[in-house]
Amino acid sequence: MVAGIWRGFASDNYAGIHPEILAAMSQINDGHQVAYGDDVYSEKLTSVIKNKFGNHAEVFPVFNGTGANVVTLQAMCKPWEAVVCATSAHINVDEGGAPEKVAGLKLLQVETPDGKLTPELVDKQAWGFGNEHRAQPKVVSITNSTEYGTVYTAAEIKALVDHTHGLGMYLHLDGARISNAAACLGTSLRAFTTDVGVDAVSLGGTKNGAMGAEAIVILNPELVPAIKYLRKSGMQLASKMRFISIQLVAMFEDDLWLRNANHANAMAQTLYQGIKDIPGVEVVAPQANALFPILPGKSIEPLQQVAKFYVWDHTINQARWMCSWDTTAQDVTDFVAAIKSELAN
């Protein structure tokens, strides 16, 4: 650590703001713009998102990913309806109960081996339609890439969409790391969203180099009218929205989103190659930008002193190592050397 500057492997939320995004925010700081989204930069974002997701896509910038998820799910559900999700889903584990507390939604959880739902797994909770004693399943929510770092293919999402729509339900995609998923798949963003029938996307920016910018992208027009009012009542309507919108413009107008995600994914692969053959380490190859190694228990705290990271599962000494847009090859080399040294002891 030099002059307070350091990087670790705890979270891509730890990373700073990409210089191009910081510059874009600075460049629009002079003068006035109409508040609450009626500014020229939010209008520009609408054009950018339509280019990425299709002409019928509508975008609603929000402050954070929890807000994007909660407002979107609230628009997709009536008060007596429920959301089917993986037990490991961020909406279930890491949002402080916000879907239940703020949106008043029942989450119907499904255990999964890898964070991914399938039509068969959905059916474990998508039942009881018409039964007044059971919260009515209305939305299936998936995450791409998942909390386990796994990635749904377009075909897998298409199968889920077809099954979900066949049940009269919606499909929501939590895309906090959607850029990493697209980079892994080598596809466009719309290839596994719009083109396969996804109804709504929580579009992530913060984890991929933004200061703090997420958005709701509605792909099913019947969901649009409610968002305007729910975003305000859900405390997610920014007065100076231009500073959120311009971050997403800078990220998605060209290929910054993809460059950042490709780099983070590549650093995860480099880290994997460096540790996969170290005795005492159990790890599978990453699909996106996260690794989940199992380590000797006594090695965890010493390694956390070298580079910050979280323990994912204390019962089996499983860590989570997350690479970011600003992770360097030297960061990886130094960490691999520390792991080898620690485990040699």
Q: What is the pLDDT of residue 211?
A: 97
Q: What is the pLDDT of residue 3?
A: 59
CA dihedral 28, 211, 60, 254 (to 10 degrees): 70
Q: What is the mean pLDDT of residues 98-114?
A: 96
Could you tell me the pTM of the whole model? 0.97
Q: What is the largest CA-CA distance in the chain?
A: 62
Q: What is the mean pLDDT of residues 142-146?
A: 98
Q: Are residues 118 and 40 in the same domain?
A: yes
Q: What is the pLDDT of residue 213?
A: 98
Contact between residue 158 and residue 47 where contact means Cβ atoms under 8 Å apart: no
Q: In this predicted model, what pLDDT tens digit does every residue of 150-183 receive, in sequence order?
A: 999 999 999 999 999 999 999 999 999 999 999 9
Q: In this predicted model, what pLDDT tens digit does every residue of 84-95 receive, in sequence order?
A: 999 999 999 999
Does any domain span residue 18? no
Q: What is the pLDDT of residue 1?
A: 43
Q: Are residues 116 and 141 in the same domain?
A: yes
Calculate the alpha carbon distances from 10 to 82, 303, 319 in Å.
32, 12, 9
Taking residue 136's Cβ as centre, other Cβ atoms within 10 Å add up to 18
Q: Are residues 261 and 248 in the same domain?
A: no
Q: Are residues 311 and 209 in the same domain?
A: no
Q: Are residues 53 and 66 in the same domain?
A: yes
Q: Are residues 185 and 260 in the same domain?
A: no
Domain end: 252, 280, 314, which one? 252
Is the predicted pLDDT of residue 2 greater than 80, yes or no? no
Q: Are residues 181 and 63 in the same domain?
A: yes
Task: Tell me what percent of the residues of the chain surpass a pLDDT of 90.
Answer: 98
Does any domain span residue 274? yes
- Counting the structural domains of the chain, the total is 2
Does any domain span residue 22? no
Q: Are residues 103 and 218 in the same domain?
A: yes
Range of the domain at 293: 256-344
Q: In this predicted model, what pLDDT tens digit does every residue of 225-237 receive, in sequence order?
A: 999 999 999 999 9
Cis peptide before 145 (omega within 30 of 0): yes
Q: In this predicted model, what pLDDT tens digit does every residue of 247-288 receive, in sequence order?
A: 999 999 999 999 999 999 999 999 999 999 999 999 999 999
